[in-house]
Amino acid sequence: MCDEHTVNDNKQHLQTGITRRRFNHLAVAAALVAIFSSEASVQTVIETEVVIPTLNGEADCYFVHPTSGSHAGVVIWPDILGLRSTFRALGRRLAEAGYSVLVVNPFYRSAPAPVVPEGASFQDPDVRSVVMALREELTVDAQRVDARAFVAYLDAHPAVDTRRRVGVMGYCMGGPIVMRAAAELPERIGAVASFHGGGLATAEEDSPHLLIPTMAADFLIAVAENDHERAPAVNDILRNAFVESNLKAEVEVYEGALHGWCVPDSPVYDKVQAERAWGRLLMLFEKALA
């Protein structure tokens, strides 16, 4: 989860640059990018800005889907900086791979997107104070309301094939949100992907991992190395919970990757590892949303 630890890790990364160990790792991983990240075909798409009614107001979102046919629906929850150009690009890329994709503004209760200027950084204390305050509105109940509204929107759209189950993706704070979504709508959500998600397994009574027995999805949990180092027990807690519930799950620490590595406008964006995670995402969706 984005916090002061993330800020400090990012600063250190930007100051020290690449290490010899990291260089060797990238050299090996780069050879895998073409295999993991290559989409079989790129489809032409239609992009629209939409407003979705919820029990808490109207959510401004970005919806993109192939120009013809109906396809499996996917909801993307952005990181703490919210809906912006880089997440529209991620949604467009997924739509080009054959999915009908809704990228949401998680902060619609307070402000339309973007909630911070394009190019804003979590490293900036002023930006940080704005988005941390907005995050407080995303209570567990609010997350459940949103999950139902966003999936209902997809299910009502002709570009979505309701014979196929829905996929959900979350980055940073979106990680716990997509897990709660899977628990809220187990009959519809068949695939869950968390990229450097924070708070997936905590000591709190409302920890997302406690809901795993109520889920019916396949999972990709892509973990930043520094997040793992800060809370090394979390991955085993998640793996054990998935096994006990007989759910398919890939829980992997991405070596050398820092919190935020999958987002192109992040200061710690790691293209090689981000592409590898994207390839795993496409494999998850191909199998779980067939």
The per-residue pLDDT for 41 is 74
pLDDT of residue 160: 98
Note the pLDDT of residue 20: 39
* SS3 of residue 121 by DSSP: coil
Q: What would the pLDDT profile of 10-66 be if each residue is shown by its tens digit?
A: 555 455 554 434 444 444 344 334 434 445 579 999 999 999 999 999 999 999 999
Please give the CATH superfamily to which domain 4-288 belongs: Alpha/Beta hydrolase fold, catalytic domain (3.40.50.1820)
Q: What is the pLDDT of residue 289?
A: 98
In sequence order, what are the residues at sequence separation of 6 or more whose Cβ sits closer than 8 angstroms to the Cβ of residue 131?
2, 80, 81, 82, 107, 115, 116, 122
Write out residues in the chain with pLDDT < 70, as ranges.
1-40
Q: What span, in angstroms and rounded, lies between the C-alpha atoms of 129 and 78?
A: 18
Q: Are strands 45-54 and 57-66 parallel, antiparallel or unpaired?
A: antiparallel
- How far are the Cα atoms of 62, 98, 104, 124, 167 from residue 140, in angstroms, in the given order? 23, 31, 17, 27, 20
Strands (E), 3-87: 45-54, 57-66, 73-77
- CB atoms closer than 10 angstroms to residue 214: 11
